[in-house]
């Protein structure tokens, strides 16, 4: 191959990578091109070459794809948030469905026929913008030293100044502009992560879609927020404002929120309602960011669980008890497990708010609590629901699930690669894939939620997969490792 860095090439984009990059080939050599779409003919400049693949920057769209649409946000190429905004929504759904299916086949080792036979149509969104009930916005300065609020450019910590993200609620803009004005007038500096100096790091904003209540929490690198009463006075004028607080985070870390929450004004929580269930949400609560699609997802979880009224259900990684309370309406008894103590406090309060007496919640890691309750106290399970973080379930947790032998397992996942890895373990242990479905919770992005139903085999035959199927080493390694996608890809392909 005679190509080198900075060469310009013309590519026909034939495929899309897992992170939404267009994939074109020059003499059979694949190039990944951010912002290029399947069906485009483009001019690109090579930025990096490796042994078996490379990267290029989109310079010009020569012939646009029939799937290309006009983006709503002018920052869509710079911002790291909306990788698919230039792609038609119907094609976004197809991309996400294929992403889940490919991971089930390549990583999970399930046959194409089985995966296709169990597949149900992906659940799309009616409102594709302004659907997020939560924003975590970094505060910084631009090159001229002016205060800015916005979002990080892709793969960087450079802030793109934008107070009106197309995915967030309308109130975000006014809230952020009030905070920036307050900081300028009171000479309050933004945090500089390179030096560790400065005070204001991030702004957390939450909105209860059903209640209209607003929460603001300022994350600071210090012990107090100077002239906080002046900020409160302005924020209180915004309709719906219910809670104003600050979180102390002095650590040199990418973790946004600190452990300490100090109230400046109002209630510690806001309330929201999903499917008739009332939820109390604190600054540290895990609460799905798209409440409209969450209702659809949790209704599916209850449908997959197929509860008759007497079952014992375990909800692992339960957060503030959202799925637990949905299940409690149809089950005999529900047990929820979550590692964050504040979340369990919220879950118990949510059960109390809704008059739910058949749900109990435990603080701890699922892989610790579940074995203890099963082996020492004999608490069994008819149905187990898991909704783990992106890294998937702990191996010990999967082992205990297999020992408990529930009739059904409902697995909700935000990462179909680790989902597929875990399903392989569960199906090798005596379960079979019955149903699966994608739910688009994150329109305009490459992320997609999945829900899967596994049923216990009625015989000792462990019918898992087509054993001759070749596993995709790249995806498998990425799913099982803490290394970056780049490091794994370079290692496997070289």
What is the set of active-site residues? Answer: 414
Let me know: does 29 contact 16? Beta carbons within 8 Å.
no
- As given in the structure block, the two tokens for residue 133 are 């009930």
Say how far apart CA 464 and CA 118 lie, in whole Å.
14
> Could you tell me where the beta strands, DSSP code E, fall in 221-275?
241-248, 260-266, 270-274
Say how far apart CA 206 and CA 284 lie, in whole Å.
11
- As given in the structure block, the two tokens for residue 482 are 């803490």
Say how far apart CA 304 and CA 434 lie, in whole Å.
10
Let me know: does 453 contact 384? Beta carbons within 8 Å.
no
Nearest CA-CA partner of 321 in 355, 295, 360, 292: 360
Which residues pair with residue 247 across a beta bridge? 219, 261
Kindly report the CA angle at 25 between 106 and 438, in degrees rounded to 5? Answer: 35
Say how far apart CA 386 and CA 412 lie, in whole Å.
6
For 254, the 3-state DSSP assignment is coil
Alpha-carbon dihedral angle through residues 90, 93, 98, 99, given to the nearest 10 degrees: 140
Q: What is the DSSP string of 119-166?
A: EEEEE--S--SS--SEEEEEEEE-TTS-EEEEEEBTTS-PEEE-S--T
Let me know: does 350 contact 273? Beta carbons within 8 Å.
no
For 184, the 3-state DSSP assignment is helix
Q: In 3-state terms, the chain is what percent helix, strand and coil (to 5)?
A: 25, 30, 40
**Residues 6 or more apart in contact with residue 20 via CB below 8 angstroms:** 34, 83, 84, 95, 446
Let me know: does 186 contact 226? Beta carbons within 8 Å.
yes
Per-residue DSSP letter, 372: I
- As given in the structure block, the two tokens for residue 147 are 């205060």
For 161, the 3-state DSSP assignment is strand
Helix residue ranges, H only, 237-336: 291-305, 322-328
């Amino acid at each position: 191959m005679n190509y080198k860095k900075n060469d310009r090439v013309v590519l026909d984009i034939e495929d899309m990578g897992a992170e939404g990059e267009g994939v074109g080939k020059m003499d059979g050599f694949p190039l990944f091109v951010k912002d290029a779409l399947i069906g485009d003919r483009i001019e690109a400049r090579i930025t990096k070459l490796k042994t078996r693949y490379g990267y290029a920057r989109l310079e010009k769209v020569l012939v646009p794809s029939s799937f290309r649409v006009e983006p709503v946000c002018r920052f869509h190429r710079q911002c790291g948030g909306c990788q698919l905004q230039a792609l038609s929504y119907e094609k976004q759904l197809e991309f996400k469905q294929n992403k889940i299916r490919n991971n089930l086949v390549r990583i999970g080792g399930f046959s194409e026929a089985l995966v296709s036979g169990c597949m149900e149509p992906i659940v799309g969104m009616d409102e594709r913008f302004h659907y997020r009930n939560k924003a975590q916005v970094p505060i910084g300065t631009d090159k001229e030293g002016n205060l800015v609020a916005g979002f990080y450019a892709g793969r960087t910590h450079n802030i793109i100044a934008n107070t009106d993200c197309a995915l967030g609620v309308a109130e975000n803009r006014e809230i952020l502009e009030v905070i920036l004005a307050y900081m300028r007038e009171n000479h309050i500096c933004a945090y500089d992560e390179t030096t560790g100096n400065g005070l204001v790091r991030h702004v957390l904003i939450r909105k209860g879609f059903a209640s209209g209540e607003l929460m603001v929490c300022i994350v600071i690198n210090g012990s107090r927020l100077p002239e906080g009463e002046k900020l409160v006075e302005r924020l209180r004028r915004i309709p719906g404002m219910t809670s104003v607080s600050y979180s102390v985070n002095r650590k040199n870390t990418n973790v946004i929120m600190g452990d300490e929450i100090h109230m400046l004004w109002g209630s510690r929580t806001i309330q929201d309602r999903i499917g008739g269930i009332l939820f109390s949400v604190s600054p540290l609560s895990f609460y799905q960011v798209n409440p409209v699609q969450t209702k659809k997802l949790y209704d599916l979880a209850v449908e997959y669980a197929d509860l008759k009224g007497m079952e014992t259900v375990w909800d692992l990684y339960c957060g503030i008890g959202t799925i637990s309370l949905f299940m409690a309406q149809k089950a005999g008894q529900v047990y929820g497990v979550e590692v964050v103590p504040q979340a369990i406090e919220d879950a118990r309060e949510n059960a109390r708010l809704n008059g739910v007496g058949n749900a109990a919640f435990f603080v701890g890691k699922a892989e610790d609590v579940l074995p203890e309750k099963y082996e020492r106290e004999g608490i069994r399970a008819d149905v187990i629901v898991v909704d783990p973080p992106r890294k998937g379930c702990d191996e010990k947790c999967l082992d205990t699930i297999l020992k408990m032998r529930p009739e059904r397992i409902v697995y909700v996942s935000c990462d179909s690669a680790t989902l597929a890895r875990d399903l392989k373990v569960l199906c090798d242990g005596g379960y079979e894939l019955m149903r699966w479905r994608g739910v688009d919770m994150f329109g305009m992005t490459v992320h997609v939620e999945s829900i899967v139903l596994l049923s216990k085999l009625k015989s000792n035959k462990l019918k898992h997969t087509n054993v001759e199927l070749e596993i995709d080493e790249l995806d498998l390694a990425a799913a099982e490792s803490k290394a970056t996608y780049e490091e794994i890809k370079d290692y496997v392909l070289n």
